[in-house]
Amino acid sequence: MNSLFGPLDDVAGDAGHVEHPPRVGFFTDTSVCIGCKACEVACKQWNGVPAAEHLDLLGMSHDNTGALGANAWRHVAFVEQSKPVDLGMPAVDGLRWLMASDVCKHCTHAGCLDVCPTGALFRTEFGSVVVQQDICNGCGYCVSACPYGVIERRPGDGRAQKCTLCYDRLHGGLEPACAKACPTESIQFGELDELRDRAAARVATLHERGETGARLYGADEHDGVGGNGAFFLLLDEPEVYGLPPDPVVPTRDAVRMWKFVGAAAGAFLAAAVGSFLGRR
Amino acid sequence: MSHRAEPLPPPRPDDHSYYGRPILKPPAWDWRIPAYLFAGGLSGGATLISVGADLTGRDRLRRRTRVTAVAGLGASMYFLVSDLGKPLRFHHMLRVAKPTSPMSVGTWILSAYSPGIGLAAAAEVLPARWRLTRLLRRVARPASLSSAALAPALAGYTAVLLSQTAVPAWNTAHPYLPFVFTGSAAASSGGLAMALVPPAEAGPARTFAAVGAAAELVASRVLEHRIGMVAEAYTTGRAHTLRRWSEYLTAGGLAGILLARRSRVAAVGAGLALAAGSALQRFGVFEAGVASTRDPRYVVTPQRERLATARGAVER
Amino acid sequence: MGSNMAEAHPVGFQWVVEAKARGAKVIHIDPHFTRTSALADTFVPIRAGSDIAFLGGVIRHVLENGLDFREYVAAYTNAAALISPEYRDTEDLDGLFSGFDPEKGSYDPASWQYRSTGPPPGDEERPQEAQSHAAGAGGAPIAAPAEATDPTLQHPDCVYQILKRHFARYTPEFVEEVCGVPQDAFRAVCDAWTANSGRERTTTLIYSVGWTQHSVGAQYIRAGSIVQLLLGNIGRPGGGILALRGHASIQGSTDIPTLFNLLPGYLPMPSPATPDLDAYVASIRSRKQKGFWYAADAYLISLLKEYWGEGATADNDYRFDYLPRIDGDHGVFRTALDMVEGKVPGYFLFGQNPAVAVSNGRLMRLAMAQLDWMVVRDLAMIETATFWKDAPEVDTGEIVPEECRTEVFFFPAASHVEKEGTFTQTERMLQWRERAVEPAGDQRSDLWFTYHLGRIIRERLADSADERDRPIVELNWDLPVHGDPVWGEPDAEEVLRRINGYHLDTGELVADYRHLKADGSTSSGCWIYTGVFKGGVNLSARRGDGPDGKWGWCWPLDRRVLYNRASADPAGKPWSERKKLVWWDDDARRWVGDDIPDFPDDLPPDHVPPPHAVGAAALRGDDPFVLQADGKAWLFAPNGVVDGPLPTHYEPDESPVRNPLQGPRASPTRRRYDHPDNPANPALGAVFPFVLTSSRLTEHYTSGAMTRTLPFLAELQPELFVEVSPQLAAERGLVHGQWCHVVTTRAAVQARAVVTERIPPLRVRGEVVHQVWMPYHFGRNGLAKGDVMNDLLGIVADPNVGIQEGKAATCDVRPGPRPTGKALLDYVADYRRRAGIA
């Protein structure tokens, strides 16, 4: 069943769009992120995402946002590491500071989209995944279906919120606000195929320069979500950044799960029937 | 915007997580969802018993289980709608019918299930002298049969509702939860029927309850051993406490069924124990799910193991 | 060095990232591992306040190993010049240069001058000694270009050899001892820097406020300049020194200055020592010097014509008399102390928040409490506007709101999108900004405010008989306004045109500062900006989509790389094909290339001027440094810096370390402001054992007036914190995320402790020295609040330009919140007692 998992060439077409532009997304090259958080601010500004209710110094390096959520559609992670580092990133007795701007992955097979019972979540013609705010009734199912922990219900509002890949800006021929604001082009926006090529070349360059820990995350269409519409270049394991190492769209096992339900339901019925038999 | 008064405790940095923070979001649902799991399963089981009672002439069993079923259904509706972020938009669930969404499937199961048992229960409780009531009583049996056809789905689909998520405790338990839930549904519905109906008529309820309770106990235990380190979410903390008490109550209730044949008091006690045990089971499973989203270990460790296995397979 | 470019200039930093992508290596030398360090290839931690020792080490390395770009140095710098036989170096005089007057605390630079081969210069030919408050202005004058030189650079009194002797002790061991930089790390930097300089490659040196805010700040920059000159990096593509400014348009604020000691275009403000125009011009340039500062009279007279129009004529010295005179230090700190004494009745603050942003915040606030009135123009209700009711001194009882005499007038200001005008940023680039929206309510632009304030004052003074009022009444103050004929918005483009300048006879816009005249026929509000409106086109509004593909307009004359003549060898050929920028085209008989030549474009490289030529006409074809008095870059500065012709290491005013060089511990000419409310932490001693340094976060901007009031920024950095190493945290019992407080003899400030390895302890002179770092953005107003970090710092300043030593001080750090109310005063008093200060 190609539509539930595995490589999928034409996400928008698979979702029912007949004529549509090429799939677009983000390549976030964290090796050039300067942790400025312009992406966080530009996103909030453009999309009217509320500021946090509490001002908290979280003590997680320079990260006071904490995680992606209903009120944080871009989140810059900071990881201070002191360990032997051979080459590449600067080493004073191996001091390294990873900075990475996280975002909704706009998965090829999106768990949130698959489980949405109202149709609020849908696949756009650009291949992105967007929540229609006038339809969402805040059932919260998408929250548990996302293997990356991205989507969340907004406190005080109740509806599910996440990055829209600036759907309105795309309609206007503009790039998303975060990509526009990023000063070092850590966040690159464009056609996904082209981004993937660019990313592969960048990884090769980094490897040549001795940065052997550089790797792509979410660029492989054979992974558990069919590859991401927003993928990353990381310099360490995903879990260091708070990302799951091997995310899988829950829908992948849906059929199997229903089979067990069927068996249990059948047993349930049989038990009920059997309880009444022979008792006349 | 305000400042928190208390300084936060220092997070622990390590190589396997981002400051020990969760990767996943905790379920957006609150206690009302495990309450629904209980009420929905109860309703489905009660409908099945009511049909059996109807077909075997056990009037009191029939009447009281029909009422139980619709009470459970009503409670379910309340729990589901009020737990929504925008309750007034509950009807948006009916915009689509999506097989990939267990909640959408469940919406339609509930929608198809409700009228029948609703009519049948109305037939039981409305004043007998009404014309409407007489009409209802004529359609009560086919109506309740229509609900009965969906009752097993109602009792079982909630397992995939939980499992088809990224929540480690639920997702990994997907082979076992259906049996836990349907067993639990049988135990609670049979148990309450036992409590509400004189022992003479409650025989099938006792059987149903006993089978359900046994299945629930066995499936619940097997689950703990078959899902690797994620089982810790079930066997530690609040989830563990809830499930342990669920076990005591369910096992006790199961044992009590033997006495329930003769003693109404024992029947009531056992029945209530089974119902309580069933409820605690649902809350326990729910809590295990929540706990499994809080600690990133539950996401990282099994996924790393999976990757290592796959790499090993490739290298071989 | 001294820069956190990625955090303070994130948009500019994209070019560093671009360079890295093309193979450039980035080295970051700083006390503190910042977001800049995270993207550098190499990070070198250094003790705050020891950069001259480091750079001196690099200079020594270059000279000892003959790694200087010899042809460049010989031809383009004053390396060959012989210095006066009276000159004595710090190596000879135990840390002092010759000419020090201990009573005045200043130097007479007479012994630093070039050796003269003829009779000594007469009084009228001797250049003014660079007066402490006049420095920073003009090009330093000298009597004449060097007459005695040794092109072989061997003569013991030539600059090259003096340099060698002066820096001989700055060995790698010395650098390790003083800076805390391990020798192999230091050598690696030297190797990288020298290997990447020369004909084929150039290295850029970037500094910012981490270098300027020291009592020897100007000498830091001198040291960096010496390295870059020795390596031949100045005036060459991919080379040079990027002086990153601390504000978006502060370059403009010094070009068209808001500083007491400068007139537009870096002309000095007159003083009583220059009673007339001729004396003034003589103080800027001597009769025999070369270069474009020679025409200082044309620049000044054009400025005066712009100010006083037709009434400024030759017989009244073009109203030179109408310019105010400065007779000392009128800087922020001196003025604040005068306020404390009750000598200053009023204060205008335009986008300035001294209650938070200036060293010794407490002194600033106590000073403001002595004013009669204060006008604050800002985007938000800043701490300076509300100090009278909610300053920390209200808590301690030092300011009582009901009794505070200061009347504050708050005028809401229009933001940069609500007004038009130019920004001038760190590349000397003017960028025109359009008005995107009308300002709301009472918000007005600074131009509007200043113009109408002047208009109203002039109306009131129109009939005055007082001579003192003539300068204001006769000002050329009519601007066209848009909208309301009386109260409308002045035409900013017209202001820019007037800054550009006009030929007064024809009404044409001046195209080039070289066309400015000293005969009153030209006007110009700022000679270095002349040409921005060339041909009637607002060149600062270019955005790269015009036929020339250019963005903005750089002064002077749109040259992007200053002194780019130096990118070609003395014969006019680029040093290498790879690094060509401008070169001499012999067929066309002009300089051509990828930049506008910073040189008379038809002056051949082999040109030798006639014997008595002066000014621009005296430039040789190989004098790239056209604004220097001898056309050469100065490795040794005979004039222009008041604290020495060469940089030498001194400890900061507050330091836990003894100066390893003999002699004065700290700079003997540093400006101190002795006042009971401005005590200095004692040198050395155990009471304040840690080095305190400060800089910026990306998320906030200076005093936080523009950022801590915005929810989206406030939430990114919500609280004041202090970064301490795990070792220091263990020593003092500090817990990550919990309150602690930092103490100096000025104040105690509380902050969250952030325990991190990014502010490592260093081994200096055998001892472990701990450093702590704090951002200085926080104050009590807005959404993200905190104590004021600047309250910790005392006021000590660089003697050249008066900038505070804000980057290196000492402190103590203790766990837990600080005391409040009167107890806070007692607590600080107790520290003072223990430190031996009354």
Region of C14 (left: φ > 0; alpha: ψ -120 to 50; beta: rest) is alpha
For A259, residues 6+ apart whose C-beta sits below 8 A from its C-beta are none
Q: Is the pLDDT assigned to residue C252 strictly greater than 60?
A: yes
Task: Give the one of B4, B152, B174 whose C-beta lies nearest to A265's C-beta.
Answer: B152
Helix (H, G, I), strand (E, B) or coil at C751: strand
Q: How crowded is residue A20: how many other Cβ atoms within 10 Å of its Cβ?
A: 17
Give the residue from A275, A277, A280 with the most B CB atoms within 10 Å of its CB, the best one to mutate: A275
Q: A with B: how many residue pairs have Cβ under 8 Å apart?
A: 275
CA distance B4 to C655: 37
- Can you tell me the mean pLDDT for C799-812? 95
For residues B180, B186, B191, B193, the Cα torsion angle rounded to the nearest 10 degrees is: 160
Q: In this structure, is residue A271 part of a structural domain?
A: no
Q: In this structure, is residue A171 part of a structural domain?
A: yes
pLDDT computed for residue B12 by the predictor: 52
Calculate helix-pair angle for B131-163, B264-294, nearest 10 degrees. Answer: 40
Q: What is the mean pLDDT of chain C?
A: 94
Domain residues for the domain of A17 are 3-249
Q: Is C758 on the interface with B (CB under 8 A)?
A: no
Q: In this structure, is residue A259 part of a structural domain?
A: no
CA–CA distances in Å: residue C71 to residues C229, C597, C603: 11, 21, 21
Give the tokens for residue B109.
């199961």
Number of domains in chain A: 1
Task: Give the one of A146, A256, A275 whose C-beta lies nearest to B166's C-beta.
Answer: A146
Q: Is the pLDDT assigned to residue C124 strictly greater than 80?
A: no
- Looking up residue A191, the CATH number of its domain turns out to be 3.30.70.20
The three-point CA angle C638-C554-C264 to 5° equals: 60
For C79, residues 6+ apart whose C-beta sits below 8 A from its C-beta are C73, C153, C158, C159, C160, C163, C635
How far does CA A48 lie from the centroid of its chain?
A: 20
Q: What is the DSSP string of C345-365?
A: -EEEEES--HHHHSSSHHHHH
For C295, residues 6+ apart whose C-beta sits below 8 A from its C-beta are C513, C514, C516, C518, C615, C616
Q: In this structure, is residue A216 part of a structural domain?
A: yes
Grade residue C139 by pLDDT with cuts at 50, 70 and 90.
Answer: confident
Q: In this structure, is residue A43 part of a structural domain?
A: yes
Tens digit of pLDDT at every position of chain A (280 positions): 457 888 999 999 999 999 999 999 999 999 999 999 999 999 999 999 999 888 989 999 999 999 999 999 999 999 999 865 444 334 445 789 999 999 999 999 999 999 999 999 999 999 999 999 999 999 999 999 999 999 999 999 999 999 999 999 999 999 999 999 999 999 999 999 999 999 999 999 999 999 999 999 999 999 999 999 999 999 999 999 999 999 999 999 999 999 999 999 999 999 999 999 965 4
User: Looking at beta carbons, which residues of chain A come within 8 Å of C754?
Assistant: 59
Do you find a cis peptide bond into C570, omega within 30 degrees of 0?
A: no
Chains near C (3 or more Cβ pairs under 8 Å): A, B
Give the residue from A60, A261, A273 with the most B CB atoms within 10 Å of its CB, the best one to mutate: A261
Our CA-based measurement puts residue C710 at a distance from the nearest CA of chain A, in whole angstroms, of: 9
Specify the DSSP element, H or E, that contains C755. strand C748-755
Q: Which residue of B has its CA nearest to A80?
A: B13
Task: Give the one of A149, A244, A264 whose C-beta lies nearest to B182's C-beta.
Answer: A264
CA distance C105 to C101: 6
Specify the DSSP element, H or E, that contains C29. strand C27-30
Q: What is the DSSP string of C221-242?
A: HHHHHHHHHHTT-TTSTT-SEE
Helix (H, G, I), strand (E, B) or coil at B106: helix
Our CA-based measurement puts residue A37 at a distance from the nearest CA of chain C, in whole angstroms, of: 8
**How do residues C278-336 score in pLDDT, each as one tens digit?**
999 998 888 888 889 999 999 999 999 999 999 999 999 999 999 999 988 899 999 99
Lowest mean pLDDT of B62-71, B105-114, C164-173, C760-769, name the range: C760-769
Binary contact (A137, B2; C-beta < 8 A): no
C601-608: long-range pairs with CB below 8 Å, 24+: C604/C572, C605/C568, C605/C570, C605/C571, C605/C572, C606/C571, C606/C572
Tokens 């030297």, residue located? C190
The amino acid that residue B240 corresponds to is H
Q: In this structure, is residue A260 part of a structural domain?
A: no
Binary contact (C43, A55; C-beta < 8 A): no
Give the tokens for residue C520.
């009153």
Q: Which residue of B has its CA nearest to C719?
A: B3
Give the tokens for residue C620.
């040789």
Torsion over CA: C681, C684, C689, C694 (sign): positive
Our CA-based measurement puts residue A137 at a distance from the nearest CA of chain C, in whole angstroms, of: 27
Q: Which residue of B has its CA nearest to A58?
A: B8
Tokens 């601007």, residue located? C479
Binary contact (C737, B8; C-beta < 8 A): yes
Q: In this structure, is residue A119 part of a structural domain?
A: yes
**How do residues B112-127 score in pLDDT, each as one tens digit?**
999 999 999 999 999 9
Grade residue B25 by pLDDT with cuts at 50, 70 and 90.
Answer: very high
Give the residue from A56, A71, A96, A118 with the most B CB atoms within 10 Å of its CB, the best one to mutate: A118
**How do residues C640-676 score in pLDDT, each as one tens digit?**
999 999 999 999 999 999 988 878 999 999 999 999 9
Q: In this structure, is residue A98 part of a structural domain?
A: yes
Grade residue C441 by pLDDT with cuts at 50, 70 and 90.
Answer: very high
pLDDT computed for residue C120 by the predictor: 58
ipTM for the predicted complex: 0.94
**How do residues B288-308 score in pLDDT, each as one tens digit?**
999 999 999 999 999 999 999
Helix (H, G, I), strand (E, B) or coil at C604: coil
Our CA-based measurement puts residue A95 at a distance from the nearest CA of chain C, in whole angstroms, of: 8
The three-point CA angle C781-C785-C786 to 5° equals: 115
Q: Parallel, antiparallel, or unpaired for β C721-724 and C748-755?
A: parallel
- Can you tell me the mean pLDDT for B68-94? 96
Lowest mean pLDDT of A86-100, C52-66, C791-805, name the range: A86-100
Interface of B with C (CB under 8 A): 1, 3, 7-10
Task: Give the one of C719, C737, C785 whose C-beta lies nearest to B9's C-beta.
Answer: C737
Helix (H, G, I), strand (E, B) or coil at C291: coil
Task: Give the one of B87, B174, B306 whose C-beta lies nearest to A260's C-beta.
Answer: B174
pTM beyond cutoff 0.80: yes
Helix (H, G, I), strand (E, B) or coil at C490: strand
From chain C residues 653-712, the ones with a CB under 8 A of any chain B CB are 711
Binary contact (A51, C712; C-beta < 8 A): yes
Grade residue B1 by pLDDT with cuts at 50, 70 and 90.
Answer: very low
Q: Which residue of B has its CA nearest to A76?
A: B18
Q: Which residue of C has its CA nearest to B9?
A: C737
CA distance A115 to A147: 13
Q: Is the pLDDT assigned to residue B2 strictly greater than 50?
A: no
Specify the DSSP element, H or E, that contains A129. strand A129-131
**How do residues B214-260 score in pLDDT, each as one tens digit?**
999 999 999 999 999 999 999 999 999 999 999 999 999 999 999 88
Q: Of C266, C302, C288, C240, whose CA–CA distance to C598 is shortest?
A: C240
